[in-house]
Amino acid sequence: MNRQELIDQVKEAYANIASSDSQQHFHQTTTDITPEAYYEKLLGAVITEIQNGTFDNCRSGAEIVNKVAADKSVISAF
């Protein structure tokens, strides 16, 4: 899969997560950042890593989202 396809899939995945009703807890546990702002920042960092080839071994955007969720250290700028 090419990098642009991965970026498009990751954008869609984070948009769905940020707008999900399950993010209500986010508002209850943080006061400084909205779910949308958090995921926008995370998306920017992930896109940079995709462009740098960090996730070239991934087969889908969902795989990248899951990797990042499991271990934020896979992205350097977050």
pLDDT of res. 78: 73
pLDDT of res. 48: 96
pLDDT of res. 22: 60
Of 53, 56, 51, 55, residue with least CA distance to 65: 55
pTM of this prediction? 0.84
Tokens of 61: 């955007």
- The domain spans of the chain are 3-74
Rounded Cα–Cα distance for residues 19 and 37 (Å): 11
Among left, alpha and beta (phi > 0; psi -120 to 50; other), residue 53 is left
Rounded Cα–Cα distance for residues 32 and 53 (Å): 32
